[in-house]
């Protein structure tokens, strides 16, 4: 077995534009533009006020909400039980277009669709819709870009453009639900069962709009989609104070901690936020989340060849989890999408197997993450980066195109 150990500092960050680039942690957005107000930015009482403010009876707010959350309609022209004279005004006031599709990639025999969206100000984000035998999951973005600067993440090297509004996040869910209902993914219609905040951005760094989005997801029609909190996952690289706030929110979603290293020596370089909150502090906060909600925490661990996949690190991870109690955490080792010629590449199968076996022998519940999109720009930020490179080389905006690419191994 290889004894070579590579470090995050051995190579420029993934997607860096020059060889001496260094990760730069940032919470400051480059843009301050605010997305247009949308119906779902408002709670039900605020929707009634907004409707009444334009001279339309307040009861129409309930009607509009049911069209959106129950029938997945985002255009008042399609709401045919509304008086035709009211539709343009309501559309202008409460249904601005928040997402415009730039391109979509299909993979896994049509079971995965990754979409690049353009927002009102030209910022771009990605979402991924994935169909499995017993569930269909949307991975959505919470920010345009990301300020966490993790060197193996293409999004992290974009920097933070801005936070997404509640409306922009909820719209990703609505269009995914509509795609499922139409049968756009896989074989025939399905139902969106799960939502994971694991796309572009650090969700807990966009706290106010994250909370608004969670309320819209879990509250019943007409206030929201009526999803189960158990089927919603919020990820974080380790914003400890925000984890504690999430504990007290009263919406028991699954917390996913993007750990990727059990020791501060490596994690300081691999996850820059570790300079503020160390591994021990993060795992303590994750344990508090479990105690407050009863929801088992997912520990996300991207296996990177010769960097963090050593058996001793698996044992250290197991020890750190076990000393805080048993059965409170579940580890998800994630095979990294391979990047040829880079240090940011997937572990060997033998290293992956030994890592998993070490955890399981220590009594840690462990499941290898089912990766999707390895035959397309599957990792977060890769599609946006690829399209931007094409755009720059052509000196003009890309023509929207649908790309169908299927895995030969499926």
Show binding-site residues for S-adenosyl-L-methionine.
201-202, 235, 258-260, 337
**Exposed, middle or buried by CB within 10 Å (0-12, 13-18, 19+), for 172?**
buried
The catalytic residue among 14, 93, 126, 171 is: 126
Catalytic residue status for 388: no
Distance CA 357, CA 72 (A): 44
Residue 227 is encoded by which pair of tokens?
């999803």
Indicate the angle between helix axes 279-293 and 311-322, nearest 10 degrees. Answer: 50
The catalytic residue among 118, 171, 180, 380 is: 380
| Buried b or exposed e, range 192-227, using 16+ CB within 10 angstroms | bbbbbbbbbbbbbbbbebbebbbbbbbbeebbbbeb
Q: Residues within the annotated binding site for [4Fe-4S] cluster?
A: 146, 150, 153
Catalytic residue status for 380: yes
First-residue to last-residue Cα distance in the chain:
30
Residue 406 is encoded by which pair of tokens?
């299927």
Query: For residues 185 and 136, is the Cβ–Cβ distance under 8 A?
Result: yes
Distance CA 108, CA 164 (A): 29
The string of DSSP codes covering 309-331 is --HHHHHHHHHHHHTT-SSSEEE
Q: Residues within the annotated binding site?
A: 146, 150, 153, 201-202, 235, 258-260, 337
- For 30, residues 6+ apart whose C-beta sits below 8 A from its C-beta are 145, 159, 160, 161, 162
Distance CA 175, CA 99 (A): 9
Interior angle at CA 68, CA 38 and CA 221, nearest 5: 110
Q: How many residues are present in the chain?
A: 410
Active site members: 126, 380
């Amino acid at each position: 077995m290889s004894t070579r150990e590579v470090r995050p500092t051995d190579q420029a960050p993934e997607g860096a534009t020059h060889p001496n680039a260094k990760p730069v942690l940032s919470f400051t957005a480059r843009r301050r533009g605010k997305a247009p107000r949308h119906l779902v930015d408002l709670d039900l009482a605020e929707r009634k006020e907004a409707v009444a403010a334009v001279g339309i009876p307040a009861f129409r707010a309930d009607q509009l909400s049911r069209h959106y959350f129950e029938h997945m309609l985002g255009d008042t022209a399609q709401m045919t039980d509304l008086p035709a004279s009211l539709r343009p005004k309501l559309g202008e006031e409460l249904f601005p277009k928040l997402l415009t599709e730039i391109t979509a990639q299909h993979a896994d025999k049509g079971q995965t669709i990754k979409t690049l969206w353009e927002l009102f100000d030209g910022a771009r984000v990605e979402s991924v819709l994935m169909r499995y035998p017993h569930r269909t999951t949307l991975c959505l973005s919470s920010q345009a870009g990301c300020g966490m600067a993790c060197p193996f993440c293409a999004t992290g090297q974009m920097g933070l453009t801005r936070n997404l509004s509640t409306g922009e996040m909820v719209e990703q869910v609505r269009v995914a639900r509509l795609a499922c209902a139409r049968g756009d993914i896989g074989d025939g219609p399905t139902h969106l069962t799960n939502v994971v905040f694991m796309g572009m951005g650090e969700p807990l760094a966009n706290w106010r709009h994250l909370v608004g989005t969670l309320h819209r997801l879990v509250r019943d029609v007409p206030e929201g989609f009526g999803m189960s909190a158990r089927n919603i996952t919020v990820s974080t690289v380790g914003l400890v104070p925000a984890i504690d706030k999430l504990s007290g929110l009263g919406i028991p979603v699954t917390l996913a901690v993007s750990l990727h290293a059990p020791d501060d020596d490596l994690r300081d370089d691999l996850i820059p936020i570790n300079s503020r909150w160390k591994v021990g502090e993060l795992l303590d906060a994750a344990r508090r989340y479990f105690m407050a909600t009863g929801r088992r925490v997912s520990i996300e661990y991207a296996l990177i060849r010769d960097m963090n996949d050593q058996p001793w690190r698996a044992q250290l991870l197991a020890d750190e989890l076990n000393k805080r109690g048993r059965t409170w955490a579940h580890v998800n080792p994630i095979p990294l999408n391979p990047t040829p010629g880079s240090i940011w590449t997937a572990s060997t199968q033998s290293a992956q197997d030994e890592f998993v076996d070490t955890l399981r022998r220590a009594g840690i519940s462990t499941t290898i993450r089912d990766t999707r999109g390895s035959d397309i720009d599957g990792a977060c930020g890769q599609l946006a980066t690829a399209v931007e490179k094409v755009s720059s080389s052509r000196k003009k905006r890309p023509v929207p195109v649908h790309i169908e690419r299927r895995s030969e191994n499926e």
